[in-house]
Amino acid sequence: MKVVILAGGYGSRLLEETVVKPKPMVEIGGRPILWHIMNSYAGAGFKEFVVALGYKSEYIKDYFLSQLDIEGSLSLNLATSEVRRHDRTKQDWLLHLMETGMDPSTGGRLMRLRSMLEKETFMMTYGDGLSNVDINALLAHHRSHGKCATVTAVRPPARFGVLKIDNKTRLVKNFGEKPQLSEGWINGGFFVFEPEVFNYLDDEHEPIEGRPLKRLAADGQLSAFQHEGFWQCMDTLRDVRYLEYLWNNNQAPWNPNPTPIESA
């Protein structure tokens, strides 16, 4: 089953990083967040990716092409320029790096991939968010409900620490750093779609989060998979540093491997 990753936006809220590279190439622990997203899906057994490229797409192409050259052991014959690789990457992923232009919205990028996706169920997510959502449970939920689309609903972490204060003494009884919000669900990405979703896409400038998903909901064709676990988008440098901290301290919930993989 193919996994679409939307990786073509400008990442304007993270200009400190994205002025020189696309947002999905911002690194966490020496690897782009795009790699981390793929690694999470691959850990669940889904290893074919369709990456919707746009802004500074050459950085993404160069990263994966370079991996073929720099990872593993090499023998070089300087006289003949012959290169022999002793081992290959252990990542048995199939990548389709597809140019979808600079201007389309999220819905428009998906429309431009229709020919690759319209024959079978596929998954989709954004190139800037990490989670420990159970992908196989998500897919099972989608199939059990028989709807056109399933969205993963998450409870976002609070932006600020929460204080519990004793009303009489005014002493802090408990300090909670970045708790999950107890109320309200938001779109966490991690979608599953049937090919019929393309019947709801007719404007390349319309984000899929706008009229298409609203129409799906109105038609009773949008199911929600409620995820209570870890979810974190990467919109600010603070988010980057938080994700970096989790990875470097072997506390990354999205990592299917118990030990962080060394930087490339």
For residue 128, which of 181, 189, 178 has the smallest C-alpha distance? Answer: 189
Q: How confident is the model at residue 14 (pLDDT cuts 50, 70, 90)?
A: low
List Cα–Cα distances, 166 to 171, 172, 173, 175, 227, in angstroms. 5, 6, 6, 12, 32
Q: Where are the domains of the chain?
A: 2-144+188-219+230-248
Q: What is the pLDDT of residues 99-137, one digit of tens each?
A: 999 888 999 999 999 999 999 999 999 999 999 999 999
Residue 67 burial (C-beta neighbours within 10 Å; 0-12, 13-18, 19+) = middle
Q: Taking a C-beta distance cutoff of 8 angstroms, is the pair 107, 207 a contact?
A: yes
- Domain 2-144+188-219+230-248 fold: Spore Coat Polysaccharide Biosynthesis Protein SpsA; Chain A (3.90.550)
For residue 50, which of 88, 91, 97, 106 has the smallest C-alpha distance? Answer: 97
List Cα–Cα distances, 163 to 110, 179, 228, in angstroms. 43, 11, 22
Q: To which H or E segment does residue 49 belong?
A: strand 48-53
For residue 130, which of 228, 254, 41 has the smallest C-alpha distance? Answer: 254
Average pLDDT, the chain: 87
Q: What is the pLDDT of residues 163-217, one digit of tens each?
A: 566 677 765 556 555 556 555 789 999 999 999 999 999 999 999 999 999 999 9
Q: Identify the pLDDT of residue 243.
A: 95
Ordered alpha helix ranges (H), 127-196: 135-145
Q: How far apart are the C-alpha atoms of 134 and 22, rounded to whole Å?
A: 27
